[in-house]
Amino acid sequence: MIEIRLACARGEIAGLRSGNPDGAKILALHGWLDNAASFVPLLPHLQDFDVVALDLPGHGASGHRLPGYDYVFVDWIHDVLDVLDALGWSRAHLLGHSMGGAIATMVAASTPERVDKLALIEALGPISGKAEEAGARLRQAVKARRALDPDRPQRVIDSIDSAVDARLKATAMSRDTARLIVERNLRAVAGGYVWRSDPRMVLPTHVRTDEAFVRSWLRAIEAPTLVIAADPTPPYFTPDMRSGRVSELRDGRAVVMTGSHHLHMEQAQTVAAVVHDFLA
């Protein structure tokens, strides 16, 4: 497993590379506030493949968006395409977890010629929104964005354990799982550590697309698609939503496993076996 740095249009993107350089290509995209380390438990089980796990912009060791700009969903698509270009990969399998799965979905819908197969964990398309909530969401997002002070000093965290404690308050997962993600998302400073992730990542989104649009995007996907879902499900990806979205795919299927939202980390061997068989 090696560290990589790629010069892309909107800044440097970092990641981890592992496996067989001559194997089929996999680009792995992590979830919100995670980073490339979230795929570390899977990597020993995918050694037949040439795997690059990214730190998406604003996460881990990657650069942040320029001051004054936002993290707009369509830009994630171009980040992924820029990475494929920088790697010299004309096509690849996409492996995505949560937010990374939503991004992978949109890449497959928009540029089918770049995607061989699509393996998604706890995702299929972006989170949709209700039209009647759009006005309130827009006001909330603009207010939060205008209130953000880019010059405010970051709070210093006294230890890695304290940072892990903070992450566990936000996300239910094992302590070892949280530590993998947290360690890659910390920068050492005098007196302790600060988060490397961009504070703009925690701002509410300005727009959530109507479900009908998401279903139309799914119908545009040409790649064979596997969805691995955890049981119990998160409230934004219910069984009914999952089955309804899968039914829109030309070639799609879902596998449900008992586990948490980060089941690819906590049940890595089981998840990797399903992914390996699908991609191989």
| Residues designated as active site | 98
| Rounded Cα distance, 244 and 35, in Å | 29
User: Could you tell me which residues are beta bridge partners of residue 120?
Assistant: 96, 227
HSE (side-chain half, CA atoms, 13 Å) at 248? 20
Q: How are beta strands 252-258 and 225-231 bridged, if at all?
A: parallel
3-state secondary structure of 232: coil
E strands present in the chain: 2-8, 11-19, 25-29, 50-54, 92-97, 115-121, 186-189, 192-195, 225-231, 252-258
Tokens linked to 173: 């997962």
